[in-house]
Structure 1
Amino acid sequence: MIVVTGASGQLGRLVIDALLQTLPAAEIVAAVRNPEKVADLAALGVVVRAADYSQPETLAAAFEGADKVLLISSSEVGQRFPQHQNVIAAAQTAGVGLLAYTSILHAAESPLPLALEHQQTEQALAESSVPYVLLRNGWYTENYTASVPVALEHGMVFGCAGEGRIASAARADYAAAAAAVLTSTAPQAGKVYELAGDDAYTLTALAAEIAGQTGKAIVYQNMPEADYAAALMGAGLPDYIATLLAESDTGASKGGLFDDSKTLSQLIGRPTTPLAEMVKIALAV
């Protein structure tokens, strides 16, 4: 039995979709805060269990009988580490055979402030008795293609990544990797996967791709980090999200979102989704 935590989220749902390609629904557990949000999965035969990272008693029940658990990192930045500790403790008590954790690309040396709680979680895993595998996910391409409407409106892609190279991949690519690891017959405990897109690009290249597909003049406007964060807040993003995105762009300028190992495409057995395809999808919405 494989338990997927955070299963109602965008990544979690994609992981379950991928698992359903090779496993019976009854062998998959969707662990979620609100079971009503995954009624569609329950209708497919997926086992649904209530689980809240901040409520250890729910985790104990959710992990009962679990052979493997996918810990999708919490979305609550600043609260992630204690929440992840709860999951690790519950997995240890349940005798889980393998815990897969979605960390961040090159976590140990990442220049992104976002990496801190991932580093803490990786250390907690190392100190636990739970067999684990690290899925160090790079950036989602959707993080950038979400700005396509703004780029079309203003004729600019805004950011503070300079000419940093970004080896992002589609969320579905990372989901396929998680499913591949969870269903692999080869031993996975102790492995560390640095997962990123096959082809890196700069935000200048992203602007050029949008321009090429729309025929409109789109350029990249590089900004100081504080100005970019302020612009994101002005656009209506919550302060912590705006700060996170701006800090991550700065991290990208220092190489924090680059990797050329092609580990992700090797793991999923196909090329990662190209930037051009992701821009095309964003323009069709």
Structure 2
Amino acid sequence: MGKIIVSGASGHFGHAAAEQLLDKGAQVIALSRHVDKLADLAARGAEVRYADFDDPASLAEAMKGGDKLLLISTLRVGSRVQQHRNAVEAAVANGVKHIVYTSVIGGGLAEHPGVEQKDHYNTEQLIMASGAAWTFLRNSLYAEAVATAMAIPALLAGSKPDNAGHGTVAIVSRDDCVAAAVGVLTQEGHENTAYDITGPELLSVPQAVAMISDMAGKPIELQHVDDEGMYRYFDSLGVPRKASDIVPDGPIPWASEGMVTFGQSIREGLFSVLSNDVERITGRKPRTLKSVLEQHKGEWPQ
């Protein structure tokens, strides 16, 4: 199996992936800017290394000795392609033979309205040109985001503005995304393949919100708005519109253009993708949105 490098190992996805790889007996090199958060992985035998995707010198050291790299997309929409390029170049220069990348549904489309998708598309292209074998895990909308970031404000306000219309998306649990990544990294035959990592059913945002409302026993008024109306809503919260307007280390580390164009992409049918790739890779059926909502229901306002 060789040594597997896991980037972003202090984040939810990376930490869970590193734990599961260790469970399978893999040799893990765990990377993070916050190595103090990796003590539990080090205690289990992982090599823990400092890595900053904005610092190519740190990456040259961090990537040594690895055979495979789980490249977890960074969070800085609009400027992360260069971060990914730095990581890929350092990995290939150090002999990494296979790069597994967490992309997004539609990541292979050259024409797409989504700001986030453009980052993923450009990253996929540079990985394919790197000379390493590749696997793209094109993840759908996280069910955990629906259960928390969507559900909690909607329940507090009793309403939710939304620009996704009645477009559908196969909402997927992050648990299944992690399991698929671990499967690809520990099994044979996944090189130079792209997978659509989706949940088991296509749902619209109105259907998801209705499910939340029913489970909470509280009404939520879904307000259908156009893209500009969605921008105005985020403006009212003080969210910058563009990634270039984000204040470094400020209170809001994301921009509304990513959210608005994500909703637009759902409305235009670009997320209406349903696949059985999770079950093919992991041997188990993906979790339903309802099961994830039930898991997080205790975090909802009473």
Q: TM-score range by the shorter chain?
A: over 0.9
**Alpha-carbon distance in 1 for matches of 2:130, 2:97:** 13
Q: 2:4 aligns with which of 2, 8, 29?
A: 2
Change (3 A) 1:53 1:250: same
The alpha carbon displacement at 1:69 in A equals: 0.6
Identical aligned pairs, as a percentage?
31
| Equivalent residue, structure 1, for 2:249 | none
1:211 paired residue among 213, 221, 232:
213
Q: Which residue of 2 aligns with 1:227?
A: 229
Query: How do residues 171-186 of structure 1 correspond to structure 2 at under 5 angstroms?
Result: 171-184=174-187, 186=188
Other-structure match for 2:283: 269
Which residue does 1:246 correspond to in 2? 260
Q: Distance in 2 between matches of 1:171 and 1:124?
A: 25
Higher alpha-carbon deviation: 55-64 or 213-222: 213-222
Where does residue 163 of structure 1 map in the other structure?
166
Alpha-carbon separation, structure 1, partners of 2:69 and 2:143: 25
How far the C-alpha of 1:20 sits from its partner, in A, is: 2.5
| Aligned-pair Cα RMSD in Å | 1.7
TM-superposition CA deviations, 1:252-278 (whole Å, max 9, x none): 101222211221232222121211112
Gaps in structure 2 of 5+ consecutive residues:
242-253
Shift of 1:43: 2.5
Q: 2:172, 2:198 within 8 Å by CA — same for their partners in 1? A: yes
Could you tell me which runs of 5 or more consecutive residues in structure 1 were left unpaired when the two chains were aligned: none
| Structure 1 stretch displaced more, 170-179 or 140-149 | 140-149
Give the Å deviation of 1:6.
0.9
Which residue number corresponds to residue 195 of structure 1? 197
Give CA-to-partner distance per residue, 1:94-137, whole Å, 9 cap, x none. Answer: 11121111111121224422111211111112222112111111
Contact kept? 1:160, 1:246, Cα under 8 Å: yes
Distance 1:159 1:48, change over 3 A: same
Q: CA deviation at 1:236?
A: 5.1
Structure 1-normalised TM-score? 0.93
Displacement of 1:244 in angstroms is 1.1
In the alignment, which residue of structure 1 is the partner of 2:70? 70
Return closer, same or farther for 1:241/1:170 CA change in 2, 3 Å cut-off. farther
Cα deviation 1:199-236 (Å, max 9, x = unaligned):
11111111211122122222322112222233234335
1:30-75 CA-partner distances (Å, limit 9, x unpaired): 1111211222322332211011111112112111110111111111
